Amino acid sequence: MIPTLAGRLQTRIFLLATVGVVLTALVVPVLPGTTGSPARTYATAYLILLAVAVLGLGWELVYHLLMQFRWDKDWPTIFGLLTIVPEGLLVWVLLDLGMIPGVPGPVAFSTFAVMFGFVWIGQWLFVNGPIRVFFVQWRLRGGRVV
Amino acid sequence: MLHEAGIPVHDVPFVSVGGGLGSFIMTDVLRICGVPTSSIKVLSNSDTPWQTWEYLTRASQLPPGERIRSDAGARPDNIWGFPSYAVHEAWQDRSPKLLWQVLVEPILTDFFSPRAATVFATVKREADRISYWDMLAKGQVRMVRRRAGGGYFTLLTPPAGTAPTKRVAIRSQYVHLAVGYPGLKFLEDLQRFRETYDDYHRVVNAYEPHEHVYESLKKRPGTVVVRGAGIVASRVLQRLMDDRERYGLHTQIVHMFRTFVTGPHGSGPWMRRPGGDGWAYQAFTFPKSAFGGQLKAQFRRLEGEKRAALAKAVGGTTTPKLRRWQEQMRQGRQGNWYHPIQAVVDKVEPAPDGRLVSHTSSNDGGYGRYVSDFIIDCTGLEADMPEHRVLADLLEHGGARRNGAGRLAVGENFEVTGTASGGGALYASGAAVAGNHFPAVDSFLGMQTAALDIAADLARRGFCADLGPARSFGQWLKWVTGRPV
Ligand SMILES: Cc1cc2nc3c(=O)[nH]c(=O)nc-3n(C[C@H](O)[C@H](O)[C@H](O)COP(=O)(O)OP(=O)(O)OC[C@H]3O[C@@H](n4cnc5c(N)ncnc54)[C@H](O)[C@@H]3O)c2cc1C
């Protein structure tokens, strides 16, 4: 990817609102370690997704800063995959501390890990190709959707 | 006037002059945007869109089986760049290694690049799919002139014997120019040598066929002076070094850098380009983000001197730091048969035994004298833009003007500034329009960028459909399944 800052932020929100929402809907019924009603699990899952989006805007600023040290001002494919580690850890710690607003109760690590990993990888795959099928100009505009 | 001169006039709304990859990509985009073949004519002296590119790559030591410079996503046959060339070749070769390479590039491996042959084959397939051949009309374009009633006349000389008249005129609302490089550029001292001594054998330009150099070195050991610091110099070195290894030759290589880069360089930690051993290292012809990211956006925002300053900071001659080349050069330095030096050549003369003597001076004030059997000039392609007749005519009579870099000035939608004619428009892409808002325009991805921006402008004018998500998706499905547009 060769994102601009605006492109990063737009792509992040766009992906979570589309691919993220759909993949979450698909994965929730098969998540391990869940307790309580499906409605409750859905609510929790989407709150986590929202948290990833909000925190993600902050992460994008950090990534954008780091990218400035690269001569090509690019963001290699593998970075998009590996950043799952810091981002996942942060969300998990906040979740564990009960600091994600609205989440009704404790969430098992297995539940979180499967959901987060599934959505992350799905988005990463989507952004590394299929997105361009719909938005030809996406890659030519630094990842801006609009 | 044309009628009086007995020149027949044909009507077609859109004409693309050139018929190289730039014209091909333009027509590809227009076809995808719903324009029928009957509304487009490509005027060219080439039989295929890849002909000139194939010739230049082959001469400059990039045979079909070798890998080119641009990356997996730069597919002239596919405006989406998906699936990428890496996926294409991985499938074709049954080689998951290539997928691994695009996954970890450029951190753990070099960037993936497709083979030149992959580009030829896929462009051929796409040309068939969009019925490119139906739009192609062969001939030499003489000039493009504005018409009094709006639009343009393009004057074409068809190949001898193929038309009843020597010239034909095409009347169109829109014209697109993609005429590539006007010609080869020779270093002045080498040009002087060639003319003075009428020797076109020992002093060659890397972009002209020079196989005899390698053949001769196989028969008799010799010394070669290589001049230049770009990717073509790298490829010529690779050829010399490959041959050395393959045939057990004793070729000595003197590599002259006008500017010898000793390490990373630039104005600060955020603008530092890698370099060393003489070279400035960069994967592509521009930093990657110039093709569509941060640098592209910056160029668009800046104007005049500030834009020129940025161009200077990120431009210049570079070559990718490929692991294979690094290893070969290391061996050459160690074995004392590859000699990279900083030198400016003052003149070249024949030695009494017929070989060549290069008289050089270096930045540290020293003088040198290097005797060699051959000199390979790897310093460049394009001559001045007005060397091209059609462009010169446009500058003189068509209202076009030059930008700060000496190329054609164009607006953001690649319309050539000052050439509007009634409701018609004249666009250009490729090397002729470097130095405007988009520096990477002379590349596959750059041509696609230009074509998409031109098509968007034409859609605004009502000539073709908008390429929104629905059309894009539908057309991509057709591409994948190989159905006509
Ligand atoms: C050695 C080499 C390697 C390259 N490698 C890469 C790479 O790896 N990746 C990448 O993205 N880009 C690469 N490029 C750049 C790429 O080749 C160009 O961007 C592209 O080919 C330019 O297309 P074009 O249509 O402008 O020019 P061309 O492809 O050269 O086509 C111009 C055509 O116009 C015709 N023509 C000119 N004048 C007239 C006239 N008056 N009448 C009729 N016909 C005329 C010529 O015959 C020619 O066929 C490379 C270029 C070179 C030289």
Distance of residue A138 Cα from the nearest chain B Cα, in angstroms: 9
Classify each residue of A95-118 as buried b or exposed e, where b means 16 or more C-beta atoms within 10 Å of its C-beta: beeeebeebeeebeeebbebbbeb
- Interface touch B273/A71, C-beta < 8 Å: yes
Q: Is the separation of the CB atoms in B474 and B481 below 8 Å?
A: no
State residue B216's pLDDT score. 97
- Could you tell me the distance, in angstroms and rounded to a whole number, from the CA of residue B353 to the centre of ligand 1? 40
- The arithmetic mean of pLDDT across residues B158-184, rounded, is 93
B10 inside 8 A of chain A by CB = no
- Strands (E) in B351-455, as ranges, are 356-361, 367-372, 374-377, 425-428
Look at residue B382 and give its three-state secondary structure: coil
Identify the residue whose C-alpha is closest to ligand 1 atom 35: B18
Note whether residue A116 is domain-resident: yes
Note whether residue A60 is domain-resident: yes
Q: Is the separation of the CB atoms in B430 and B436 below 8 Å?
A: no
Euclidean distance between the first and the last CA atom of chain B, given in angstroms as a whole number? 39
- Interface touch B294/A4, C-beta < 8 Å: yes
Note whether residue A46 is domain-resident: yes
- Could you tell me the distance, in angstroms and rounded to a whole number, from the CA of residue B27 to the centre of ligand 1? 15
- The arithmetic mean of pLDDT across residues A73-87, rounded, is 97
CB-nearest to A72 from B81, B102, B289 is B289
* Atom in ligand 1 nearest the alpha carbon of residue B69: 8
User: Distance of alpha carbon B290 from its chain centroid, rounded?
Assistant: 16
Token pair, residue B38, equals 């009957």
The H or E element that residue B267 is part of is strand B265-268
pLDDT at B382 over 70: no
Is B157 close to ligand 1, i.e. is its CB under 6 Å away?
Answer: no
- Interface touch B82/A77, C-beta < 8 Å: no
- Could you tell me the distance, in angstroms and rounded to a whole number, from the CA of residue B411 to the centre of ligand 1? 21
Alpha-carbon gap, residue B327 to B410, rounded angstroms: 43
B441: closest chain A residue by CA: A140
- The arithmetic mean of pLDDT across residues B56-83, rounded, is 97
Domain B184-262+318-381: CATH superfamily, name plus number:
FAD/NAD(P)-binding domain (3.50.50.60)
The H or E element that residue B348 is part of is strand B344-350
Top residue of A140, A141, A146 to mutate, by most chain B CBs within 10 Å, is A140
A81: closest chain B residue by CA: B103
- The arithmetic mean of pLDDT across residues B402-412, rounded, is 93
Structural domain spans, chain B: 9-182+383-481, 184-262+318-381
State residue B386's pLDDT score. 78
pLDDT at B384 over 80: no
Is B18 close to ligand 1, i.e. is its CB under 6 Å away?
Answer: yes
Angle between helices B21-32 and B444-460 (to 10 degrees): 40
CB-nearest to B287 from A69, A73, A129 is A73
- CA distances in angstroms from B302 to A4, A130, B310, B412, B434, listed in the order given: 16, 32, 9, 12, 15
pLDDT band at B185; cut points 50, 70, 90: confident
The region that residue B375 occupies, defined by phi over 0 for left and psi between -120 and 50 for alpha, beta otherwise, is beta
Pocket test for ligand 1, best of B16, B17, B21 (most atoms within 8 A of CB): B21
- The arithmetic mean of pLDDT across residues A38-60, rounded, is 95
- Interface touch A139/B81, C-beta < 8 Å: yes
- The arithmetic mean of pLDDT across residues B449-476, rounded, is 98
Q: How many residues make up chain A in this entry?
A: 146
CATH architecture, domain B9-182+383-481: 3-Layer(bba) Sandwich (3.50)
Q: Report chain B residues whose CB lies below 8 A from the CB of A7.
A: 293
pLDDT band at B1; cut points 50, 70, 90: low
Top residue of B28, B109, B281, B288 to mutate, by most chain A CBs within 10 Å, is B288
pLDDT at B96 over 70: yes
Token pair, residue B129, equals 């799919």
pLDDT at B112 over 70: yes
Which residue in B105, B262, B62 sits closest to A72, CA to CA? B105
State residue A101's pLDDT score. 93
- The arithmetic mean of pLDDT across residues A84-101, rounded, is 96
Alpha-carbon gap, residue B480 to B485, rounded angstroms: 11
* Atom in ligand 1 nearest the alpha carbon of residue B390: 41
pLDDT single digits (tens) B310-347: 999 998 999 999 999 999 999 999 999 999 999 999 99
Q: Is the separation of the CB atoms in B423 and B150 below 8 Å?
A: yes
Look at residue B186 and give its three-state secondary structure: coil
Chain A with chain B: Cβ pairs closer than 8 A: 93
Token pair, residue B459, equals 């859609």
Identify the residue whose C-alpha is closest to ligand 1 atom 49: B20
pLDDT single digits (tens) B255-269: 999 999 999 999 889
> Looking at the 3D structure of chain A, how many domains does it have?
1
Q: Report chain B residues whose CB lies below 8 A from the CB of A68.
A: 270
pLDDT single digits (tens) A111-139: 999 999 999 999 999 999 999 999 999 99
Note whether residue A80 is domain-resident: yes
State residue B383's pLDDT score. 62
- Interface touch B81/A69, C-beta < 8 Å: no
Note whether residue A97 is domain-resident: yes
pLDDT at B387 over 90: no
Distance of residue A37 Cα from the nearest chain B Cα, in angstroms: 38
Top residue of B279, B281, B289, B476 to mutate, by most chain A CBs within 10 Å, is B289
Q: Report chain A residues whose CB lies below 8 A from the CB of B291.
A: 2, 140
Alpha-carbon gap, residue B252 to B226, rounded angstroms: 11
Classify each residue of B360-384 as buried b or exposed e, where b means 16 or more C-beta atoms within 10 Å of its C-beta: beeeeeeebebebbbbbbbbbbbee
Q: Is it true that B9-182+383-481 and B184-262+318-381 share their CATH fold?
A: yes
Note whether residue A146 is domain-resident: no
CB-nearest to B82 from A2, A4, A130 is A130
pLDDT single digits (tens) B409-433: 999 999 999 999 999 999 999 999 9
Look at residue B286 and give its three-state secondary structure: coil
- Interface touch B472/A136, C-beta < 8 Å: yes
Distance of residue B375 Cα from the nearest chain A Cα, in angstroms: 33
- Strands (E) in B59-193, as ranges, are 136-138, 140-146, 152-157, 168-172, 174-177
* ipTM score for this prediction: 0.95
Q: Report chain A residues whose CB lies below 8 A from the CB of B82.
A: 129-130, 132-133
